[in-house]
Amino acid sequence: MKAGGKTTRPRRGASASSLVPHASLFRNARVLVVGDAMLDRYWFGEVGRISPEAPVPIVKIEREEERAGGAANVARNAAALGAQVSLLSVVGTDEAGARLAKLLRYERVKARLHRDRGVRTTVKLRVIGRQQQLVRVDFETPPSHEALASKLRDFGEMLREADVVILSDYGKGGLAHIARMISMARRTGKPVLVDPKGEDFSRYRGASLITPNRGELRQLTGPWKSERELNDLAQRLRRKLKADALLVTRSEEGMTLFRDGSRLHVPAQAREVYDVSGAGDTVIATLGVALAGGARLNEAVRLANRAAGIVVGKFGTAVVTPEELFGKK
């Protein structure tokens, strides 16, 4: 990457395997994910008629699916790439929490889920009919102070066994101590990647890398009319947050990495966009695994962009495998 704010583009025709010589090291990567874990439920059915009670479709449910969501989806994405993954989160003492724990064991994620009796495990229920989402129903309550304090103590212990820390903020209250977590991790020399939420980005001050999407950045900085203006706004925010880097995911425009004095733009690679839900989870998981495996940040960003292009072609919260990412047969 050149200095002076110039953009370095990936060389034409470069494959993921040629860009990153660290794929074999993914299995040695140790990633700690902390944040708002949740259970994603999908009810699939056929829409045959409109209800006589109200002008809404009647869906005859034919099958159900459950997947790990939120921070748990970040963890399962990292595990799918071959990394050794630990997850720290809070769930309720309910059926949904038990189901989430079982799913994570199946996904080879070492999960430490604090059970809070006063919490209802966050569940996102989506009803699907005619190949589209008809409605989403959310169940959630914020965790208690006691559960969060216990979680912070465990964070210090689990931090010792990690190469990279990913903080996945879904605004559900599970990262109330995020500023202390960032400080603890940086003191030990561990890179901290943050997937942000909300308008108060001051909570993420000092993180190694923050990954807002286009809408989140626009909400903070206001709109921009040119790439030069975007560069100025993003760099100003990065400096204000004392972050080493800011990666803005821009949907069909790809993603842009802003570092001190430099900018890297990577065009989108998606051939077909089916579902963008969970794409941000895949991006930050791929970044974390690549960095923990020894890749440079620019290389990790290119890999994450490739992974995003793959996962948006799948339905719901999904994962990308090394075979898909590196084109192995």
Give tens-digit pLDDT for 22-55. 567 798 999 999 999 999 999 999 998 999 999 9
Distance from C-alpha of 297 to C-alpha of 291, rounded to nearest angstrom: 7
Distance from C-alpha of 201 to C-alpha of 242, rounded to nearest angstrom: 11
Q: At what angle do helices 71-80 and 279-292 cross, to 10 degrees?
A: 50
Model confidence band, residue 20 (pLDDT cutoffs 50, 70, 90): very low
- pLDDT (tens digit, 9 = 90+) per residue, 56-99? 999 999 999 999 999 999 999 999 999 999 999 999 999 999 99
Question: In this predicted structure, what is the pLDDT of residue 327?
Answer: 79
Question: In this predicted structure, what is the pLDDT of residue 269?
Answer: 82
- pLDDT (tens digit, 9 = 90+) per residue, 221-240? 999 999 999 999 999 999 99
Is a pLDDT exceeding 60 seen at residue 311?
A: yes
Bridging pattern class, strands 132-139 and 123-129:
antiparallel
Percent of all residues in the chain with a pLDDT value above 70, rounded to a whole number: 90
Distance from C-alpha of 180 to C-alpha of 22, rounded to nearest angstrom: 31
Q: Which residue shows structure tokens 């561990």? A: 190
Question: In this predicted structure, what is the pLDDT of residue 275?
Answer: 63
- pLDDT (tens digit, 9 = 90+) per residue, 156-212? 999 999 999 999 999 999 999 999 999 999 999 999 999 999 989 999 999 999 999
193-205 exposure pattern, b = at least 16 Cβ within 10 A, e = fewer = bbbbbeeebebbe
Question: In this predicted structure, what is the pLDDT of residue 11?
Answer: 40
Model confidence band, residue 317 (pLDDT cutoffs 50, 70, 90): confident
Distance from C-alpha of 245 to C-alpha of 38, rounded to nearest angstrom: 28
Distant-in-sequence, close-in-space partners of 106: CB < 8 Å, separation ≥ 6: none
Distance from C-alpha of 158 to C-alpha of 140, rounded to nearest angstrom: 26
Nearest to 125 by CA among 316, 304, 293: 316
Provide mean pLDDT across the span 284-298. 96
Model confidence band, residue 145 (pLDDT cutoffs 50, 70, 90): confident
The secondary structure of 114-140 as a DSSP string is EEETT-PPPEEEEEEETTEEEEEEEE-
- Encoded tokens for 143: 């965790």
Domains of the chain: 16-38+69-119+145-326 (3.40.1190.20)
Catalytic residues: 281
Model confidence band, residue 10 (pLDDT cutoffs 50, 70, 90): very low
Model confidence band, residue 329 (pLDDT cutoffs 50, 70, 90): very low
Torsion of CA 269, 270, 276, 279, to 10 degrees: -40
108: number of Cβ within 10 Å = 14
Question: In this predicted structure, what is the pLDDT of residue 270?
Answer: 61
- pLDDT (tens digit, 9 = 90+) per residue, 90-107? 999 999 999 999 999 999
E strand or H helix at 67? strand 57-70
Distance from C-alpha of 177 to C-alpha of 314, rounded to nearest angstrom: 34
